[in-house]
Amino acid sequence: MKYKIDQLSKTSQIIKDYHVNPLLAKVIEEKGLSLEAYQQMINPRLIYHDFSLFTEGEMALDRIWEAIEKKEKIVIYGDYDCDGILATSILVQAFHELNIHVGFHIPNRFEDGYGLNVHRVEQMAEKGYNLIITVDNGIKAFEAVEKANELGVDVIITDHHTFEGDDYPDACAIVHPKLGDSYPMKEICGGFIAYKLAAALLGHHDPYLYSLAAITTISDMMPLRDENRSVVKRSLAFMAEKHYPQLDLLLGNQRYSTTSIGFTIAPKINAFGRLPEIVNPNNLVKFFQKDCPMRFMEAVSENAKKINTKRQSLTNAQYEEAMQEEHEHCLYYASENVHEGIIGLIAGKYTRTYEQPALVMHYDEESQTYKGSARGVNGFNIYEFFDAHKDLLIQFGGHAMAGGFSVAQSHFEDLHQALLKDIDGRDFNAEKVVIPVSFEELTIDNVSSLEALEPYGQTNEQPLFILKDVTFDGLRQLSEGKHLRFDKTLEAGRFAALYFGKGDRYEDYLNQELTMVGTLSINEYHGFKSVNMIIEEIVNDDDLEFA
């Protein structure tokens, strides 16, 4: 990884104009925040755009109330990822609070595939359902909606995925932030849309359901600005205060944060959808209902740990197999043996490691098709790549950084050549901007002030700092030699830098002058506060350049 040291020139003026300390001023300058943007960021006022702003929001509500009045049967059709599972859970709970029993279905990614399909529509019609409400899917379910219309079943689509122009299904109503110009925040996820529908039906806000929407916002990597920032920031406080048992069980002994949700809670939920042969993901909808029995919750949370552990080991093993293929410029890998539920994880691991696009596929010999998951990188929009070569694909969907697709065996190599041609001569290696700091700036008050910019996430990344050519008072190994801890006593207090997984480098770093890149935080233990750095990398001058 290359790091670019930000040549800050406005820090003194920002200190004066914004009334902030030097460390916070540096972060404000690096993020390019105007005074107005900074004040809006620290303003505790909640931003929330009403459901009525969706172009067809009122149409959707009218049809739902009509179904309730006529005692028609309603079913929620979700998706198998964290966003889709929690979006389904939100609406099922909302209808329950209206004393309306609704059906629900989380599709099996292997049997159903992604999105509403004709077979499931026919099944739901046979069971007497009059209204299908999709969550986190549906915007490309043309055949399924057409079949529903033929069978006299109405469909309300709630979705956030990409569609082209006026090309969307002939549904009863479509609730989508990009349909029309009336909804001001275009980048919200399926779970947040479901929450807005739930709040509109209930006539009030619900902290628990709002918190579930925040988890989906984090898991689907939505930009943390506008109402997305509000839902996450407010919900982190709700979760920490109210300790919802479902979420506490999934979190374990950690603090609620965007990091713990993104790397602990969301992966456990996603694991059910990736490995549905172990436990049916529909059990998670029951798990997230408010009246769920504690014994059921405990059983599901234990299963979540086991499934997630298996998912991790399976991903690591099959990633190593994929790495046996040529992968210098991109990863284009397919196998009958790769588990379809983790192809996206393999692709994602490759792009994070190499900063190159990845297409990973499971091959089905019976149909002679490859079902794949793709990950883009900065400078390479995977959805645009699919759209440019849609003549080679059976189907595709997704967005700039991730997508799913199917390709026939006859076009497998054609798609590979198209990818190689599109990336030929292009350099996608990412550079991270780092903020230069000195030990003198790392006071408890200065580092604590950075909390005003939280929560961190997409479009509001946690700032990275660089300490250049520094020495420490002590270095020790932690956790039986797995990790390193560098200690320094400063005038303002104690400083510790933690380097995880690098315990074997103890001799290399002992009594050395080092340059380290990492994030800053406050650690509190037995009432005593200290400044901590979590080291991302210890670097050489060759890894650095100036902005």
Over residues 401-447, the pLDDT tens digits come to: 889 999 999 999 999 999 999 999 898 877 889 999 999 999 999 99
CA 176 and chain centroid, separation = 19
Over residues 41-99, the pLDDT tens digits come to: 999 899 999 999 999 999 999 999 999 999 999 999 999 999 999 999 999 999 999 99
Pick from 466, 462, 520: nearest CA to 495? 520
Confidence at residue 87, expressed as pLDDT on a 0 to 100 scale: 98
Over residues 125-145, the pLDDT tens digits come to: 999 999 999 999 999 999 999
The first and second tokens of residue 252, run together, are: 């374990």
Over residues 215-255, the pLDDT tens digits come to: 999 999 999 999 999 999 999 999 999 999 999 999 999 99
| CA distance readout (Å), 184 to 181, 226, 294 | 7, 10, 40
Over residues 460-500, the pLDDT tens digits come to: 999 999 999 999 999 999 999 999 999 999 988 899 999 99
* Residue 543: band (very low, low, confident or very high) from pLDDT cuts 50, 70, 90: confident
Confidence at residue 505, expressed as pLDDT on a 0 to 100 scale: 96
Neighbours of 225 (CB within 10 A): 18
Is the model more confident about 144 or about 378?
144
Q: Tell me if 337 sits within 8 A of 363, measured CB to CB.
A: no
* Cα-trace Rg, the chain: 25
Over residues 321-364, the pLDDT tens digits come to: 999 988 989 999 999 999 999 999 999 999 999 999 999 999 99
Domains of the chain: 2-10+431-546 (2.40.50.460), 51-307 (3.90.1640.30), 330-423 (3.10.310.30)
Q: Tell me if 376 sits within 8 A of 423, measured CB to CB.
A: no
* Residue 26: band (very low, low, confident or very high) from pLDDT cuts 50, 70, 90: very high
DSSP 121-133: HHHHHHTTEEEEE
Confidence at residue 163, expressed as pLDDT on a 0 to 100 scale: 87
**Alpha-carbon span 476 to 474, nearest angstrom:** 7
Q: Average of pLDDT values for 180-186? A: 96
pTM over 0.85: yes
Confidence at residue 132, expressed as pLDDT on a 0 to 100 scale: 98
Pick from 182, 184, 186, 205: nearest CA to 195? 205
High-pLDDT (> 90) share of the chain, %: 88
The amino acid sitting at 3 is Y
Confidence at residue 296, expressed as pLDDT on a 0 to 100 scale: 97
DSSP 314-379: HHHHHHHHHTTS--SS-EEEEESSS-GGGHHHHHHHHHHHH-S-EEEEEEETTTTEEEEEEE-BTT
- The contacts of residue 197 (CB under 8 Å, 6+ apart) are 51, 60, 61, 91, 94, 158, 175
**Alpha-carbon span 543 to 217, nearest angstrom:** 34
Confidence at residue 166, expressed as pLDDT on a 0 to 100 scale: 86
Confidence at residue 455, expressed as pLDDT on a 0 to 100 scale: 94
Pick from 473, 461, 520: nearest CA to 30? 461
Q: Average of pLDDT values for 146-175? A: 94
Q: Tell me if 294 sits within 8 A of 300, measured CB to CB.
A: no
Confidence at residue 70, expressed as pLDDT on a 0 to 100 scale: 97
Over residues 499-526, the pLDDT tens digits come to: 999 999 999 999 999 999 999 999 988 8
Confidence at residue 280, expressed as pLDDT on a 0 to 100 scale: 93
Confidence at residue 524, expressed as pLDDT on a 0 to 100 scale: 86
Buried (b) or exposed (e) across 90-115, using 16+ Cβ within 10 A? bbbbbbeeeeeebebbbbebeebebb
CA 218 and chain centroid, separation = 5
Confidence at residue 331, expressed as pLDDT on a 0 to 100 scale: 97
Confidence at residue 546, expressed as pLDDT on a 0 to 100 scale: 80
Q: Residue 455: is the preceding peptide bond cis (ω within 30°)?
A: yes
Q: What is the strand order of the sheet 402-408 is part of?
A: 331-335, 358-364, 369-375, 402-408, 395-398
* Residue 399: band (very low, low, confident or very high) from pLDDT cuts 50, 70, 90: confident
Q: What is the strand order of the sheet 103-105 is part of?
A: 103-105, 73-77, 129-135, 154-158, 173-175
Provide the 8-state DSSP code for 45. P
The first and second tokens of residue 373, run together, are: 């998951």
Confidence at residue 491, expressed as pLDDT on a 0 to 100 scale: 86
* Residue 110: band (very low, low, confident or very high) from pLDDT cuts 50, 70, 90: confident
Give the three-class secondary structure for 186.
coil
The first and second tokens of residue 459, run together, are: 């479009």
Buried (b) or exposed (e) across 249-284, using 16+ Cβ within 10 A? bbbeeeebbbbbbbeebbbbbbbbbbbbeebebbeb
What does the mean pLDDT of the chain come to?
Answer: 95
Pick from 361, 323, 364: nearest CA to 343? 361
